[in-house]
Structure 1
């Protein structure tokens, strides 16, 4: 029952669509009708409002972190914390309030990993930055960072996190399947350029 409770609470936290709420509050329009229609920070940036995009990034990352930290603090169980973080990720990507059409989960993924094990979270952030810097493509940073998390857990001896890391990776890759197809076709846009 405890694990079920933290799964539900994690999902509900993760399903809060901060990108939609922020753009609506700032009169930037319906985010689902802008750019890619995604509810994450990258699409908020397409409105031209950098503070709104930054706020979305931090709040989306915070959802995963808060879910993990609350479960760890109250339940005192790392299993509950992992489950809450995974559920928050699922909530962001498949929110019930938006007919299960959510974001791609990169910020929530990073927030979850930073709170589960901050050294691994920092390594994932660094991996994202390096991949993005070299490619100038946001999705490349996300895909490479997600793919790196399970190897990081093994290299740092946190095998207790490997399964949840793999599950988070699968969610990120699934949510980026269209980006992966465009990367294969050579049509994925670089940041600052329109889609081909």
Structure 2
């Protein structure tokens, strides 16, 4: 396959990642824009915390799939490692900086989970387990996401070391998107997942 065609995969992954299911589902059900509610973050956790559990589940599933499908297709077609990695990163960048929504998107956690799933379900399973353990122990969804992001490159280095750099880049993006949460965690001002504070910014 010519190189110029290979670049179609990350481009299409970015465009797919730019589709915000949270915003679209809120519009479909005539709900306020999630960017005006709670944390103002168009993601599953903010939707959940605003009392829309079923919609939050749909948002989570869609966000996982839009990270998973382009990477899975690229992986199954046997694309070189560089293009598979670029496709994964592009889908997450699309979620964080969506071209269709003024480049104001979410925190990439669910999309990144989907993007690494085709590499190995053992890796994604460990990431989910890490997230759940930290969430149960601390009650902070943001802290759980940050810890899982930090652990992900270590996990992938153990199972599939050739993808370590790509996963590390995804982790850096997730941590960057949570920099405000890190500040609030340091100041002990970060609300927990079941609180109703408007200051949460997952």
Q: TM-score range by the shorter chain?
A: over 0.9
Asked if 1:95 is matched to 2:98, the reply is yes
Post-superposition CA distance 1:100-128 (Å, at most 9, x none): 11000100011111122221111111111
Structure 2's unaligned 5+ residue stretches are none
Single out whichever of 56-65 and 23-32 deviates more from structure 2: 23-32
Q: 1:177 aligns with which of 168, 176, 179?
A: 179
The answer as to 2:7 corresponding to 1:8 is no
From 143, 146, 150, give the equivalent of 2:146.
143
2:15–2:91: 8 Å Cα contact kept in structure 1?
yes
Could you give the per-residue CA deviations for residues 56-96 of structure 1, whole angstroms, max 9, x where no partner exists?
00100111101101222345444322221110000000001
Aligned length: 195
Q: State the TM-score, normalized to the length of structure 1.
A: 0.94
Question: Aligned partners of 1:34 and 1:66: how far apart in 2?
Answer: 29
Q: What TM-score do the two structures reach when normalised by structure 2?
A: 0.92
Residue 191 of structure 1 is matched in structure 2 by: 193
**Higher relative contact order structure (alpha carbons within 8 Å, sequence separation ≥ 6):** 2
Does residue 57 (structure 1) correspond to residue 60 (structure 2)? The answer is yes
**Please, which moves more after superposition, 78-87 or 94-103?**
78-87
Query: How far is the alpha carbon of 1:5 from its aligned partner?
Result: 1.2
